[in-house]
Amino acid sequence: MEQPSTSLAGHAVVYLKGIAMGVSDSVPGVSGGTIAVVANIYDRLIYAIRSLDGEALGLLLRGQPAACWRHVDGAFLLLLGLGMASGLLLSANLILILIENWPEPLRAFFIGLIAAAVWLLRREAEFPRWRSMLLALGGAALVLAISTGNPAGGEPAAAYLFLCGMIAISAMLLPGLSGAFILLLLGAYEHMLGALASLDLPPLLIFLAGCALGVLLMSRLVASLLRTRHSQTYAFICGLLAGSIPALWPWQTVGQGNEPRGFISNEAVWPGVYAELAGRDPMLLFCLLALAAGLGLTILARSDPVEQG
């Protein structure tokens, strides 16, 4: 296994990939775990989070901070975390603008990212073995079942925000499962996006505490599966990724009325029908260009060897 680059360029790449993950985590229907797979850092991310364990604490208590830092892949986690925080802060307003004005090309772009990732991971998942195919179908069915849920409403309480943080971060670590969409289903998405945009600290800190516990628990499960059932795990991941594509169909509208509904509505139509029902330009050319950009960016990211751990 190659040693990760410690060059300035390598660190910059990790930070930029963190920004991409942070931006994607704020978009309903898109997973930060998906971007980690696309960016070729998923295994390293899971193992780094998993290494926040008793051994790391022991090294710290014995006065060996440098050894502890190396044990947890500290530079990688720090840069990625800073990038994700930057991406979330950037996207709190930017993503709302894109969703409102350019939802169709934005969805098409993410479809390109995901479709290329599934294709590039097919050998790692050992397709077309029947076990791999069954696991992929199971993963796709799970995402499709979740994506057809109806959002909840109401003002979330503190304990509920903590639970939402645990659940959403667990979803974010699984490619294809959107933490933002899970928050939509739980009725906490708009509340948390507003808190992030206005830097309302109390709900943010409660939510982040839930995220911290969730990420420690889920990372251990996924790391164990990657070590013991690597190809099967990636087959399931491919299914999760593929299952998220239908929810990102570029042209979505309500059954009645003249306005599109949200970023993910689960009511897909053809571009011509979309133009009629929604009264919007389907932006077919822009969608095709965005799809091609997503495909190309995934191929470029997956071929970058800098961050292989």
Question: One digit per residue, pLDDT tens: the chain, 309 residues?
Answer: 344 555 788 889 999 999 988 887 777 667 778 888 888 899 999 999 999 888 999 999 999 999 999 999 999 999 999 999 898 887 766 776 777 788 899 889 888 888 888 888 888 888 888 999 999 999 899 878 776 665 555 566 788 889 888 888 887 787 767 677 677 667 677 778 778 778 888 889 999 999 989 888 888 988 998 889 989 998 998 888 888 888 788 998 754 444 444 566 657 889 988 888 878 889 999 999 999 998 987 777 666 544 444
The predicted structure's pLDDT at residue 1: 38
What lies within 8 Å, CB to CB, of 34 at 6+ separation is 24, 113, 114, 117, 175, 176, 241, 244
